[in-house]
């Protein structure tokens, strides 16, 4: 859903949340459920109980998601989630391939990035299918360390995770890119619903819920340009 205000476009970059939508296939992720508690006929109002995880749909990973003493979502500075971003077009990346450092440098060009960085892979078109998780491109160590040198307030992407899908729990190296960024205190905005490349620079609003001491939160993520 897009809207406009004072001549600017407000573009929704969030996946809808609905019952039994796709979530990561692991015991520590459960399906979304909506339970109607009140309705117009019986009590004169509609109310709904929502059962969903902190990492459903478009969401923020807080450092505490992987880091023992990392900040929870309720303690992260809100200015990290609002402001200008630099969006790097990586849509030429092939499935199941590591993003080379030179590819990132070419996408950035000569300008320094804004304080928030978004990586666009044109991957949101696969959301809802299993290969969204299993076949995505991913960052390697060199690419991740290059991004870290800019110390961004936020890193976002339209893929499910920064890691090689093979580097999950019970692998030889569990989620090393997650740990690099979250260990540096950088929150991760995951599964952005970018159906097209908007621009190299635009403004972002991706505010999480104030979920006290939790490891992440779904967000309503929008671009303003």
22-68 pLDDT, tens digit per residue, is 999 989 999 999 999 999 999 999 999 999 999 999 999 999 999 99
Q: How far apart are CA 23 and CA 161, in angstroms?
A: 13
Predicted local distance difference test score (pLDDT) of residue 14: 98
- Sequence ranges of the domains in the chain: 2-15+53-224
Confidence of residue 169 (pLDDT cuts 50, 70, 90): confident
Structural tokens at position 41? 């006929």
CATH for 2-15+53-224 is 3.50.30.50
Predicted local distance difference test score (pLDDT) of residue 6: 67
Q: What is the mean pLDDT of residues 198-215?
A: 98
Confidence of residue 181 (pLDDT cuts 50, 70, 90): very high
Confidence of residue 171 (pLDDT cuts 50, 70, 90): confident
Predicted local distance difference test score (pLDDT) of residue 186: 98
Predicted local distance difference test score (pLDDT) of residue 149: 97
Strand, coil or helix: 205: strand
CA-CA-CA-CA torsion sign (146, 151, 156, 160):
positive
**Whether 218 contacts 15, CB under 8 Å:** no
Tell me: pLDDT of 196 over 70.
yes
Q: What is the pLDDT of the chain when averaged over all its residues? A: 95
Predicted local distance difference test score (pLDDT) of residue 3: 64
- Supply the angle between the helices 141-148 and 176-183 in degrees, to the nearest 10: 10
Q: How far apart are CA 185 and CA 179, in angstroms?
A: 10
Structural tokens at position 181? 């960024």
Predicted local distance difference test score (pLDDT) of residue 222: 98
5-18 pLDDT, tens digit per residue, is 567 899 999 999 99
Predicted local distance difference test score (pLDDT) of residue 19: 97
Q: What is the mean pLDDT of residues 146-163?
A: 98
Q: Phi and psi for 157 in degrees, rounded to 5?
A: -165, 160
């Amino acid at each position: 859903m897009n809207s406009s205000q004072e001549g600017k476009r407000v573009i929704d970059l969030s996946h809808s949340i609905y019952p039994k939508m796709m979530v990561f296939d692991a015991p520590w992720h459960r399906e979304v459920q909506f339970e109607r508690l009140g309705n117009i006929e019986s009590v004169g109002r509609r109310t709904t109980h929502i059962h969903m995880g902190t990492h459903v749909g478009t969401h923020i990973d807080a450092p505490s998601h992987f880091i023992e003493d990392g900040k929870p979502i309720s303690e992260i500075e809100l200015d990290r989630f609002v402001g200008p971003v630099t969006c790097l077009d990586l849509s030429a990346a092939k499935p199941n391939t590591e993003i080379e450092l030179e590819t990132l440098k070419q996408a950035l060009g000569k300008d320094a990035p804004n304080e928030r960085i978004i990586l666009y892979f044109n991957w949101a078109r696969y959301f809802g299918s299993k290969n969204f998780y299993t076949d995505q491109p991913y960052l390697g160590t060199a690419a991740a360390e290059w991004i870290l040198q800019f110390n961004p307030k936020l890193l976002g992407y339209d893929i499910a995770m920064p890691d090689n899908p093979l580097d999950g729990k019970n692998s030889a190296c569990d989620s090393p890119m997650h740990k690099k960024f979250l260990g540096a205190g950088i929150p991760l905005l995951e599964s952005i619903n970018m159906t097209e490349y908007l621009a190299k620079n635009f403004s972002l609003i991706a505010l999480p819920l104030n979920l006290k001491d939790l490891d992440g939160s779904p967000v309503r993520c929008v671009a303003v340009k």
